[in-house]
Amino acid sequence: MSDTPAPAGLTEARRDELRAQLVGQIPRWYSPYAHLIVPSVLGLGLITGAILLLRDLRAWQLLLLPVFFLISNATEWRVHRDVLHKRQWFAPVLYDRHTPEHHIVFITEDMAMKSAREFRLVLVPAYGVLLLFIGTLPAAAVLWLVGLRNIGLLFVAQALLYTVTYEWLHLSYHLPATSRIGKSRIISALRRHHATHHDPALMQKWNFNVSLPLWDLVRGTIYKASPSASSAARTEARSEIRPA
Ligand SMILES: [Zn+2]
Ligand SMILES: [Zn+2]
């Protein structure tokens, strides 16, 4: 990565050093493809289960899916801004994995993973899908108990599909831009949005959606200028992402 500009205040050598340190900490038994496939298969299995439990599905019930999608999109935006970029007492690990690690290894001009083992630096922990599923259960159970069984099931299925899609999309943005997936128009456009968020000077304020930037649009947090225009502010931002 000799032609990769490093952010001011964090030299390219220091970034390389941190990256080597983080990759060196990945346990020997770690399997990147299991990390990608197992939660996805689990998620798709639970989605299939939810669909099989649907009874007498009506069109109006399906029309709630876009509403659920918007709720997921808004949740992604808020969790990214307030939990992944601010250290919260209830989930410090989410901040620690994201801001001082993911955001140091990958910056706007250098988004690509260098090996499959770096999946570990991009994907959420493998039990994440299970935790999300458990998190949706109270709302789904209440809906079921008040007679809105299908709505509860569609809510769970949509949330799981959103999560699995999030993982695959985020991983795609961190593939080399010249790879087959990286070159596709849709991934290129979405990667640009996410790569702007990977500018250390912008990450605390802009482009919090990782999948579709709908809630960024609603909240006015889509960064319009070129990320390189923000370089003057980088030195200041570095202090916020030093590893603990
Ligand atoms: Zn990323
Ligand atoms: Zn972020």
Nearest listed ligand to the Cα of residue 106: 1
Q: How far from chain centre, in Å, is Cα 100?
A: 15
Q: What pLDDT is stored for residue 242 in this prediction?
A: 46
- Evaluate whether residue 1 is within a structural domain: no
Residue 3 is encoded by which pair of tokens? 């032609």
Distance 147 CA to ligand 1 centre (A): 40
Distance 166 CA to ligand 2 centre (A): 13
Distance 106 CA to ligand 1 centre (A): 7
Residue 219 is encoded by which pair of tokens? 């909240």
- Evaluate whether residue 12 is within a structural domain: no
- Evaluate whether residue 10 is within a structural domain: no
pTM score of the predicted model:
0.87
Distance 194 CA to ligand 1 centre (A): 7
Question: Average pLDDT, stretch 83-105?
Answer: 93
Q: Enumerate the H helices of the chain as residue ranges.
A: 12-24, 32-52, 59-62, 65-79, 92-97, 103-105, 128-145, 149-173, 180-183, 185-197, 214-219, 234-238
- Evaluate whether residue 2 is within a structural domain: no
> Band of the pLDDT at 131, cuts 50, 70, 90?
confident
- Evaluate whether residue 244 is within a structural domain: no
- Evaluate whether residue 170 is within a structural domain: yes
- Evaluate whether residue 101 is within a structural domain: yes
Mean pLDDT of the chain: 89
- Evaluate whether residue 210 is within a structural domain: yes
Sign, CA torsion 39/43/44/49: positive
Cα–Cα nearest to 18, from 99, 101, 83, 85: 101
Number of domains composing the chain:
1
Domain that holds residue 27: 17-238
Q: What pLDDT is stored for residue 232 in this prediction?
A: 43
